[in-house]
Structure 1
Amino acid sequence: MKIVIIGGSGLIGSNLAGRLARDGHTVVPASPNTGVNTITGEGLAAALAGAEVVVDVANSPSFEDRAVLEFFQTSGRNLLAAESVAGVRHHLALSVVGTDRLPDSGYLRAKLAQERLIVASGIPYTILRATQFFEFVDAIVASAAEGDVIRLSPALFRPIAADDVAAALADLVTRSPLNGIVEVAGPDAIPLDKAGRMVLAAKADRRRVIADVHARYFGTVLDDRSLTPGDNPRRGTTRFETWLDRVPVGS
């Protein structure tokens, strides 16, 4: 089966490409680095020729509200139009748990716009909403830094290893389109401020994390439902503590 991975050179895309290639699939990792650009349309038709499944894990290079919305809308329209011409039979896209609950976040508004384009396209689809990657927690900490103090919400979230997200996508690739949304989350619910402290400790970083219920997460205030999945999500197997043990001190 020919599978095209949009964003195939990134964290999730490269992992997924390796998994699918080992399983014997013909995999096309598509990104601007390989001459495929969903914004300009360059190389898109050629990459999709003969493809049965397209997996979209591309991300915006900018998180600024207008830029991220323009990226996901333009990329989504161009990609879905090209898939329709190519006769793609399954569009699988990676999104974010909480996308429909946090309208104050410009990034999540853009992801919701992307999801709506997929649903309206007429192409059979599956949307996988994932919780925050372990690999992203460091960026969350950095975004909340005020000198030597980091203010983070104590709201619960269920972070997940990128490897577990790629595994979930690899499984969904081989299944029939759900024409719906499925969620995947890590095994443990952790307060965001606690996760921040755990990351700093693993890196021997002495900055102080303060729990602040008013602290904003990329533009929005959180509660315990904001970033946690609904009932019976798919479940990653890697625990945050286990993953942190692999992080080199001072990295």
Structure 2
Amino acid sequence: MKAVHTFKWISDKKAYLNEIHVEELGPLSIGLYGGNSEGSAVENEEAVLAWCDPHGTWEFVMIFDAEHTIERAQFIINIICERKEKLLQLFSYPNHLVFHHTHMYLLSLFTDETFIEESEKMRGKTDCLICLRKDQLVYWLSVGECFIYLFHPELQQCKQGRLNEQRFYERIGRRNVFAAATPCFTSGVRELQKGTNHIVVATDKIIACGERMFKEEHFLYHSLLNVRYILEKMNAWKETNSAAIIGWTVDVGG
């Protein structure tokens, strides 16, 4: 199997209560925060899986925000990791094929009868956001309330940073969007612009924290190069909620 940089974190192994953890993986800056116990935080129900090509061609990240159990996020991560070789093969496809085939492969996993049956046995519900960046294109698939942003100076002038919106009633769980005859989710592909592009994926607690300053995209845009700063602000506000955020920069030549 082709060697790639790998990061996997499940919050039941390390919750990071009252603690900020930032880890670098290739270009990725991965920030984790379990909430402040002074604000009555008692558990962290988030998870992250990240792979990146050592040669900088692509990055693949998954971020989860669960309710009542982290079991389903662990279950999904295990399924993805078991199929790592197939996914890496898909990532090697040319750009006019890679995103379509990766999207269809992911949907085939999520709509598989066994996956649905096993997932619906577990308590609670799970938000999930998947992102693949290859060359100067970025793909995402989102269920629930996690966010993905693509920041670029020209896009910021048009206030076009966020690529998806919150979907409060779409979850993977006992009421599973993938069990429906027509599954509901958000997905898309966007082209990166010439110059410096910043990609950010985050759980929704980032924008709901404290003074809600990060709900304004320009605050998040100017803070994203320092993931630790964002989490330190949350800790200073004694946030009960946990948070996970991944940010990285992609430069596109002229």
TM-score (norm 1): 0.32
Higher RCO structure (Cα 8 Å, ≥6 apart): 2
Could you say which structure has the higher strand fraction? 2
Judging by fraction of residues, say which structure has more helix.
1
TM-score normalised by length of structure 2:
0.32
